[in-house]
A and B are shown apart, each in its own frame.
Chain A
Amino acid sequence: SAVISQKPSRDICQRGTSLTIQCQVDSQVTMMFWYRQQPGQSLTLIATANQGSEATYESGFVIDKFPISRPNLTFSTLTVSNMSPEDSSIYLCSLQAGGLVSEQFFGPGTRLTVL
C-alpha cells in the first residue's frame, strides 16, 4: 500500500494564526481526503481534495476556513485559518486504495493545539 506522510506531526499555535498541513503520498492517487478528529471523538470528513479543481467540502466546513490545495496526484495541503482553541484536533489525510468504495488509508495525522 502507499506510504503517506504528513507535516508537521504536531504543532502548537496561537489564536488567530493559520497553519498549513502537508500530505505527501509516494504514488499517484486519484482521491484524497481530509478528516478532523477532535479529542476523544470520531473522524469527521472535512473535504475531498480534487486534483486540478476546487475541493468538495462537507456540510459545516467552508473554503475560507479550510482552504485545500491539490496541485498533483501525490500531494495536498490543508490550511486551518484564523485558528481558535476549538480547532484543536488531529487532522488526517487519507487516500482511497482503488475503486470508488475501496478502503481508505490514513496518514499519521497532525496534532494541532491552539492556545
Chain B
Amino acid sequence: AQKVTQAQTEISVVEKEDVTLDCVYETRDTTYYLFWYKQPPSGELVFLIRRNSFDEQNEISGRYSWNFQKSTSSFNFTITASQVVDSAVYFCALSEARTSGTYKYIFGTGTRLKVLA
C-alpha cells in the first residue's frame, strides 16, 4: 500500500539556521507524483511543489529546495536561512493511482517546524 512517512514530528531551529524536513514514501506505482504543502497557524494549506517520478532533478525556489532521490524513496525539503514566518506544519503527499484511472493523494503525518527569533 502507498505510504508517506515524515518521521520528524516537530523541529525547532533558531532563525537563519538551515533546516531539512524528511519525507520517505512507499509506492507500487511506476509513475507517481510527490507534493509538499505548508499549513501555517492560520490553518490554510498552501501548495509548495509537485514533482513527478521521472524528474529527479533537484529544485530550488528562493530559500526552498527539494531533493528527490528515487533510490532511497525520499523527497526531502530544505529551508535555507529560516525565518519566523516559516513556522508551520509541513505535509508531504504522494499520488496513488486507482483502477478507475483517477488518483488519490496520501498525506504524511506532517512535521511541525518552529523557527525561534
Contacts and interface: CB of A to CB of B under 8 A. Distances in A.
A3 to B, nearest CB: 12
Given A92-B45, A108-B44, A109-B44, A101 B95 contact: yes
Contacts of B35: 103-104
B103 A100 contact: yes
A107 B109 CA distance: 19
Given A42-B110, A43-B91, A104 B43 contact: no
A104 B108 contact: no
**Interface majority SS (helix, strand, loop, mixed), chain B:** strand
A104 B44 contact: no
Given A103-B35, A103-B50, A42 B107 contact: yes
Interface in A50-81: 58
A21 interface: no
Most B-side CB within 10 Å, residue of A58, A105, A107: A105
Contacts, number: 43
Contacts of A106: 37, 44-45
Interface size grouping (class) on chain A:
20 to 34
B102 interface: yes
A90 interface: yes
16 contacts: A41-B109, A42-B107, A43-B91, A43-B107, A45-B104, A48-B102, A90-B43, A92-B45, A94-B45, A101-B52, A101-B95, A102-B50, A103-B47, A106-B37, A107-B44, A108-B43
Interface of A: 31, 41-45, 48, 58, 90, 92, 94, 100-109, 111
Given A42-B107, A100-B101, A101-B103, 18 more contacts: A42-B91, A42-B110, A45-B105, A90-B43, A94-B45, A101-B33, A101-B52, A102-B50, A103-B47, A103-B50, A104-B35, A105-B47, A106-B37, A106-B44, A106-B45, A107-B44, A109-B43, A111-B43
Interface of B: 33, 35, 37, 42-45, 47, 50, 52, 91, 95, 101-105, 107-110
